Amino acid sequence: MKTLALILIIAAAAPADQKYFPGQAGNDNIEIRAEMWIDAAQIKEAVGAELGEGYVVARATITNKTGEAMRVNPSDFTTVSRKDGDRGDALAPGQLAGGSALVLKTNHAGREWAQQTNSPGWLGVSGTKTEKPKDGTLLATLTTKQFPDQDLKPNESASGLLYFSIQTKKLKTKDLALLYKGPGGHLSVEFK
């Protein structure tokens, strides 16, 4: 009987399985609260559509703590992987659901050749343009939920989704940080 009571107490005290990973950061100018989704099912639930592999989504809320108006927009945000240094700036909805994309890939062939021959090698970038059908429904959904580009009055908040392209294989949310660099200063939101 005591064992059953102990198990029930431990189960009640254990944290529930969270579907998001909240983080926050702040200074004298702004406060940022954010949630980051890396799992495809969680992203689909937050966005309302599938984005595919290689994307993470964050919901950020910024509060202006200054006595003056402050401009905020998605381009103030970057996500960075603490595991491998991969980083991505916030994407516009048209970059995710638009009609074409330019895919850039690093060419490591020159580096390998240089290591084998002990000669200088060339490290280049190659690009390919891919055509994909424009998805008007997805574009409208992403635009509606996107973090706004607006002026925040004192003590006013703005909230919305930020979309990032970053390699998610073998990556956990705790490996990511959301970086803010804007008129409110420089902040790093860490996730657990």
**Is residue 119 domain-shared with residue 36, that is, in the same domain?**
no
Average pLDDT over residues 31-58: 89
**38 has pLDDT over 50:** yes
**Domain match, 129 and 77 both:** no
Range ranked top by mean pLDDT from 39-43, 117-121, 152-156, 169-173 = 152-156
Which carries the bigger pLDDT value, residue 177 or residue 128?
177
Which stretches within 18-152 are classed as H helix?
40-47, 93-97, 109-117, 136-145
| Same domain? 127 vs 40 | no
The pLDDT-based confidence of 95 (bands split at 50, 70, 90) is confident
Alpha carbons 134 and 24: distance in angstroms, whole number? 35
Residues 145 and 171 in one domain: yes
Distance CA 118, CA 6 (A): 65
